[in-house]
Amino acid sequence: MFASGARVRPRAWEASPAEHRKWVEVFKACDEDNKGYLSREDFKVAVVMLFGYKPSKIEADSVMSSISPGTSGVLLEEFVKIVRKKKEAQLYQNERRHIFTAFDVRYRGFLTLEDFQKAFRQVAPRLPGRTVLEVFSVRKNTETSTSTFKWIKLGCCLT
């Protein structure tokens, strides 16, 4: 019923006009010499300004390899798309962390099968016990941590 590679897709999220304006302002502030694009280093500075961390070499390589051929860097439209995706992923990760924390009532950083069963009895009392066991045991763990919890398709279980 549940594939080990299953992922919950983030919900569609729209940036507010104020947030969109902030992204454009950061783009303009990082676009040294008003070239109309962000170089690799400009992009890194923009990510630091918006997300508070310096992107890894792999992340920067990925972004720079995805830019349109014939351009020297990340154009505003591409930058906005990248930032929107990063923001969606960040919000989704925070949502997952909140769900896990709600299930981890003893604040141990992992869920035992008992914790998992109790949580599902509270949020989905009609869900068959065998389904909960199946979801928990797909990884054949006795504990589920936040890093392995992310693959669980809670949305399909709870509806």
> Are 25 and 65 found together in one domain?
yes
Q: What letter does residue 131 receive in the DSSP assignment? A: H
Cβ atoms of 80 and 20 within 8 Å: the answer is: yes
| Shared-domain flag, residues 77 and 114 | no
Instruction: Say whether both 78 and 31 belong to one domain.
Output: yes
pLDDT at 30 over 70: yes
The share of the chain scoring above pLDDT 70, in percent, equals: 78
Range of lowest pLDDT (29-38, 75-84, 104-113, 137-146): 137-146
- Cα–Cα distance for residue pair 136/154, rounded to 1 Å: 11
Task: Say if 2 falls within a structural domain.
Answer: no
Q: How many domains does the chain contain in total?
A: 2
Residue 79 has pLDDT above 90, yes or no: yes
pLDDT at 158: 40
Q: What's the CATH number where 56 sits?
A: 1.10.238.10
Mean pLDDT of the chain: 77
Co-location of 25 and 69 in the same domain: yes
Q: What is the CATH number of the domain that holds 128?
A: 1.10.238
The torsion angles phi and psi of 143, rounded to 5 degrees, stand at -135, 150
21/81 same-domain check: yes
| 5 assigned to some structural domain | no
CA distances from 28 to 22, 32, 36, 109 (A): 10, 8, 8, 41
- Regarding whether 118 and 73 lie in a shared domain, the answer is no
Range of the domain at 57: 17-85
Q: Is 96 helix (H, G, I), strand (E, B) or coil?
A: helix
- Predicted model pTM: 0.58
